[in-house]
């Protein structure tokens, strides 16, 4: 009600940050670095940058504010532009990877931490900025952690820079002591008690339990008693939860027709921006909102009016698996700190209730006190490439708040070495230096570099762009067969990558028309996004003097480029559709939606873009390759063996041979 009845100014002045504005600004004036702690919703993200602007800091340079998530950067910039009554992209803007919504007029810039990291490459002193707010530092994402280390060095050089590190949790002393002794300022909170109810026994199906709980709340409390927020793991769970909830409501309504309206609103990072914005809008009529969210709603985004929280107790975490040599998203129990944050969402505007779909015993004995920082659990290849090009010779010398494990560093360096980005002594090579220019994973950079050599940059830049966006194929549940048939028409039978290329080319040939997309079950927005990404990559290539060349219809050479990026993710067929990773021997399966099923037979060797773990390990996006290419592109791993009947096999080199190759490559 508050947001509806009060003016924006009244809303701003009601926030806890406003009550302490003067003390806070004084402490910032007196110190180069300040750690600001405040509960979620106290105004750190939306107000701090405005206060700095109002106090005149924007006269000396940009006020930058980094966010761990793209969604938050966009949504918060939009909110602040509304609060300041300016057009988004003018005085207030945002930049996320592949999307720059700022202009010369911009004074306050929200961005992902990754964007600022890349800016340090061209502007190590970040001279454009007068203030930098490292927001949501408690999330401890990889990019934030690296930035913290870089900023610590930077403030020693730039006395005029203001750095503000914000955290929603109380273990902020970690940040303060990391920077030496810097002051911590706490914004006094205004919270209401939250009743926490645990599940009596472990629940076998959290989607089902969450739906039941949401229905029971909805039916037993009047709609004006407050909205519901459900925490799920990721997009799939969220979609299923929303669907089942809608179905059950429908059934109930058919029964007696008097079920009050419920607006079911999903929120996750891949959701289109206009749908994301819906969670902040008032529901039509007198409907209650039921928001089904990932942990994005834990601290990044604050929705007012939540009285009931349902916490499934899990989240998706990116975890590096040294056994398979790559990151994968794993569903993991949340930490106690996350669980407490989630519960806190119910007590912002009045007393609330949090339903935990796990037992008190699980909370106490099975959950970590806090989440392991990302830097200690994910692939570091990008970070290493970046730090090396910033002149950090020995990574062990870099001042990390929590240093990554030796094993993770070594394995990322090894991966970079196999891609030719590092030499035998661990120094950046000339291809490695070129790779840093692209905001892409090293493997995709490698694909572009090989395309330059083989004369097919036009094709490969399209593939890389298509891989940088979520799936372009639209599969509505009620029209599965029809949409699958439509997708099959695009199949290039030897490659899912080439299929993506084919879709893009057809879309362009058909005037990039949305009507064409709809007809063929392709997401028009995703296609436009891919086109934007492609335009930006082509610009970078031009600045690198990489010629734009097409190979015409000979797409074998494109497959060779694909092979050069992914030879470390090569698989050999064991049975129909069943493969094993050539290097690790671990099983991996061809996904039922792969174009390779259109070949009539499944190829002996292929490379894959990524593994997804669902019921089995599925290879996502694969391309058939020749064993000769594996030996040519990944000589440190493979040689070719001719067996009887002229059959060719890619033979994995022995450990000793691999070491020998290493010496030769020197
Ligand atoms: P913090 O960063 O301390 O968690 P924020 O600055 O994000 O707090 O939020 C302050 C207030 O602004 C909250 O009441 C929140 O609901 C509101 N707010 C933030 N973003 C939006 C938005 N996009 N639409 C409407 N209200 C918003
Ligand atoms: Mg915030």
Q: Secondary structure of 532-546 in the HEC alphabet?
A: HHHHHHHHHHHHCCC
Give the pLDDT confidence score for residue 552 in this predicted structure. Answer: 93
- Give 195's strand partners: 353
pLDDT band for 400, please (50, 70, 90 cuts).
very high
Alpha helix (H) residue ranges in 478-611: 480-488, 496-509, 514-519, 524-543, 556-566
Ligand 1 atom closest to 39 (CA) = 3
Per-residue b or e along 568-589, where b marks 16 or more CB atoms closer than 10 Å to that residue's CB: bbbbbbeeeeebebbbeeeebb
Sign of CA dihedral 400, 404, 410, 412: negative
Q: Would you say residue 64 has pLDDT above 90? A: yes
Q: Would you say residue 638 has pLDDT above 80? A: yes
Distances (CA, A) of 611 to 381, 414, 581, 591: 18, 20, 11, 10
pLDDT tens profile 109-158: 999 999 999 999 999 999 999 999 999 999 899 999 999 999 999 999 99
Question: How many C-beta neighbours within 10 Å does residue 280 have?
Answer: 18
Ligand positioned closest to the Cα atom of 48: 1
Q: Would you say residue 627 has pLDDT above 70? A: yes
pLDDT band for 665, please (50, 70, 90 cuts).
low
Average pLDDT on 595-600 reads 85
**Do 98 and 129 contact (CB within 8 A), yes or no?**
no
Structure tokens at 615: 């019921």
What CA dihedral angle connects 469, 470, 471 and 472, to 10 degrees? -60
**Do 466 and 124 contact (CB within 8 A), yes or no?**
no
Give the pLDDT confidence score for residue 1 in this predicted structure. Answer: 52
Distance CA(3)–CA(119), nearest Å, equals 36
Give the pLDDT confidence score for residue 326 in this predicted structure. Answer: 62
pLDDT tens profile 476-496: 888 989 999 999 999 999 999
Give the residue whose CA is nearest to atom 18 of ligand 1: 302
**Do 303 and 279 contact (CB within 8 A), yes or no?**
yes
Give the CA count within 13 Å in the CB-facing half-sphere of 534. 22
Distances (CA, A) of 32 to 130, 164, 322, 466, 642: 11, 8, 40, 43, 66
Q: What share of the chain is helix, strand, coil (3-state, %, to 5)?
A: 45, 20, 35
Nearest to 531 by CA among 488, 451, 468: 468
* Residue showing tokens 């005029």: 160
- Using H for helix, E for strand and C for coil, what is the string for 144-162? HHHHHHHHHHHHHHCCCCE
Give the residue whose CA is nearest to atom 23 of ligand 1: 79
Question: How remote is the CA of residue 502 from the centroid of ligand 1, in Å?
Answer: 43
Residues with CB under 5 A from ligand 2 (ion): 44-45
Q: Would you say residue 27 has pLDDT above 60? A: yes
Full-prediction pTM beyond 0.95? Answer: no
Which residues contact residue 380 at a Cβ distance below 8 angstroms, ignoring those fewer than 6 apart? 142, 404, 408, 409, 412
**Do 121 and 436 contact (CB within 8 A), yes or no?**
yes
The more confidently predicted of residues 386 and 2 is 386
pLDDT band for 663, please (50, 70, 90 cuts).
low
Give the pLDDT confidence score for residue 76 in this predicted structure. Answer: 95
Nearest to 352 by CA among 196, 223, 231, 211: 196
- Radius of gyration of the chain from its Cα atoms, rounded to whole angstroms: 26
Question: How many C-beta neighbours within 10 Å does residue 482 have?
Answer: 12
Average pLDDT on 519-547 reads 94
Q: Would you say residue 322 has pLDDT above 70? A: no
- Give 196's strand partners: 354
**Do 164 and 151 contact (CB within 8 A), yes or no?**
no
Ligand 1 atom closest to 43 (CA) = 6
pLDDT band for 171, please (50, 70, 90 cuts).
confident
Give the pLDDT confidence score for residue 648 in this predicted structure. Answer: 86
Q: Which of 2-6, 187-191, 443-447 has the lowest mean pLDDT?
A: 2-6
pLDDT tens profile 260-316: 999 999 999 888 888 888 898 888 778 999 999 998 899 888 888 999 999 999 999
Ligand positioned closest to the Cα atom of 348: 1
Question: How remote is the CA of residue 483 from the centroid of ligand 1, in Å?
Answer: 39
Give the pLDDT confidence score for residue 289 in this predicted structure. Answer: 95
Q: Would you say residue 52 has pLDDT above 60? A: yes
Distance CA(237)–CA(90), nearest Å, equals 37
Distance CA(210)–CA(641), nearest Å, equals 55
Which of the given ranges, 16-20, 139-143, 615-619, has the highest pLDDT on average? 16-20
Pocket test for ligand 1, best of 2, 3, 79 (most atoms within 8 A of CB): 79
- Give 142's strand partners: none
Q: What percent of the chain has pLDDT over 90?
A: 67
Ligand positioned closest to the Cα atom of 187: 1
Average pLDDT on 551-574 reads 95
> Which of helix, strand or coil describes residue 109?
strand
Average pLDDT on 4-18 reads 88
Give the pLDDT confidence score for residue 548 in this predicted structure. Answer: 95
Give the pLDDT confidence score for residue 325 in this predicted structure. Answer: 58
pLDDT tens profile 411-470: 889 889 999 999 988 899 999 999 999 989 899 999 999 999 999 999 999 999 999 888
Pocket test for ligand 1, best of 10, 43, 51, 265 (most atoms within 8 A of CB): 43
**Do 269 and 70 contact (CB within 8 A), yes or no?**
yes
**Do 232 and 207 contact (CB within 8 A), yes or no?**
yes
Structure tokens at 264: 């079911």
Give the pLDDT confidence score for residue 511 in this predicted structure. Answer: 97
Q: Would you say residue 324 has pLDDT above 70? A: no
Give the residue whose CA is nearest to atom 7 of ligand 1: 45
Question: How remote is the CA of residue 39 from the centroid of ligand 2, in Å?
Answer: 9
ipTM over 0.85: yes
**Do 241 and 209 contact (CB within 8 A), yes or no?**
no
Distance CA(411)–CA(638), nearest Å, equals 19
Give the CA count within 13 Å in the CB-facing half-sphere of 270. 12
Give the residue whose CA is nearest to atom 22 of ligand 1: 79
Cβ < 6 A, ligand 1 pocket: 15, 38, 40-47, 75-76, 78-79, 280, 302, 304
The more confidently predicted of residues 512 and 597 is 512
Ligand 1 atom closest to 48 (CA) = 6
Question: How remote is the CA of residue 392 from the centroid of ligand 2, in Å?
Answer: 31
Mean pLDDT of the chain: 91
pLDDT band for 62, please (50, 70, 90 cuts).
very high
Question: How remote is the CA of residue 246 from the centroid of ligand 1, in Å?
Answer: 28
Ligand positioned closest to the Cα atom of 15: 1
Distance CA(639)–CA(652), nearest Å, equals 7
Q: What percent of the chain has pLDDT over 70?
A: 97
Nearest to 273 by CA among 632, 20, 625, 528: 528
pLDDT band for 536, please (50, 70, 90 cuts).
very high
Question: How remote is the CA of residue 301 from the centroid of ligand 1, in Å?
Answer: 7
């Amino acid at each position: 009600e508050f947001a509806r009845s009060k003016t924006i100014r009244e809303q701003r002045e009601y926030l806890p940050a406003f009550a302490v504005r003067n003390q806070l600004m004084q402490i910032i004036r007196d110190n180069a670095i300040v750690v600001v702690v405040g509960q979620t919703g106290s105004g750190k993200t939306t107000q701090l940058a405005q206060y700095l602007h109002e106090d005149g800091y924007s006269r000396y340079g940009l006020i930058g504010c980094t966010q761990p998530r793209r969604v938050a950067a966009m949504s918060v910039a939009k909110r602040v532009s509304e609060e300041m009554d300016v057009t988004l992209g003018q005085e207030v803007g945002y930049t996320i990877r592949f999307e720059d919504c700022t202009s010369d007029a911009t004074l306050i810039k929200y961005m992902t931490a990754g964007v600022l990291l890349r800016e340090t490459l061209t502007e190590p002193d970040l001279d454009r900025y007068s203030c930098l707010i490292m927001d949501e530092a408690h999330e401890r994402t990889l990019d934030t952690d690296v930035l913290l280390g870089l900023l610590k060095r930077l403030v020693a050089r730039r006395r005029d820079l203001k750095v503000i590190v914000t955290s929603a949790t109380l273990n902020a002393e970690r940040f303060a002591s990391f920077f030496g002794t810097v002051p911590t300022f706490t914004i006094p909170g205004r919270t209401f008690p939250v009743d926490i109810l645990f599940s009596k026994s472990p629940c076998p199906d959290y989607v089902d339990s969450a739906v039941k709980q949401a229905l029971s709340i909805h039916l037993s409390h009047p709609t004006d008693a407050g909205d519901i927020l459900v925490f799920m793991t990721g997009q799939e769970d969220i979609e299923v939860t929303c669907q089942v909830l809608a179905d059950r409501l429908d059934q109930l309504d058919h029964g007696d027709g008097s079920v009050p309206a419920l607006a079911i609103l999903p929120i996750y990072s891949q959701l289109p921006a206009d749908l994301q914005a819906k969670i902040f809008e008032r529901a039509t009529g007198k409907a209650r909102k039921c928001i089904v969210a990932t942990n994005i709603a834990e601290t990044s985004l604050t929705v007012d009016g939540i009285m009931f929280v349902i916490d499934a107790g899990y989240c998706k975490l990116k975890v590096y698996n040294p056994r398979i040599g790559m990151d994968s998203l794993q569903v993991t129990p949340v930490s106690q700190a996350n669980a407490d944050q989630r519960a806190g969402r119910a007590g912002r505007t009045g007393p609330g209730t949090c339903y935990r779909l796990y037992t008190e015993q699980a909370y106490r004995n099975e959950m970590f006190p806090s989440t392991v920082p990302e830097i200690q659990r994910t692939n570091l290849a990008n970070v290493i490439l970046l730090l090396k090009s910033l002149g950090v010779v020995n990574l062990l010398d870099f001042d990390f708040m929590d240093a990554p494990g030796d094993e993770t560093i070594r394995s990322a360096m090894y991966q970079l070495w196999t891609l030719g980005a590092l030499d035998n002594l661990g120094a950046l090579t000339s291809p490695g230096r070129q790779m840093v220019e692209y905001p892409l994973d090293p493997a995709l950079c490698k694909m572009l570099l090989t395309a330059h050599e083989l004369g097919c940059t036009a094709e490969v830049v399209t593939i890389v762009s298509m891989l940088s966006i979520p799936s372009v194929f639209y599969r509505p549940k009620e029209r599965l067969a029809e949409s699958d048939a439509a997708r099959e028409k695009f199949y290039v039978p030897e490659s899912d990558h080439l299929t993506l290329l084919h879709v893009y080319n057809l879309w362009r040939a058909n005037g990039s028309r949305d009507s064409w997309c709809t007809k063929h079950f392709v997401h028009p927005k995703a296609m436009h996004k891919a086109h934007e990404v492609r335009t930006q990559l082509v610009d970078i290539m031009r600045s690198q003097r990489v010629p734009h060349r097409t190979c015409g219809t000979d797409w074998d050479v494109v497959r060779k480029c694909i092979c050069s990026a992914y030879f470390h993710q090569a698989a050999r067929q064991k049975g129909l559709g069943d493969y094993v990773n050539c290097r690790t021997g671990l099983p991996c399966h061809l996904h039922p939606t792969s174009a390779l099923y259109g070949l009539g037979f499944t190829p002996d060797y292929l490379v894959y873009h990524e593994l997804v773990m669902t019921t089995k390990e599925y290879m996502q996006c694969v391309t058939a390759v020749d064993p000769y290419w594996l030996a040519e592109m990944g000589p440190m791993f493979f040689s070719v063996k001719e067996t009887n009947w002229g059959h060719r096999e890619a033979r994995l080199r022995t450990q000793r041979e691999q070491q020998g190759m290493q010496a030769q490559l020197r």
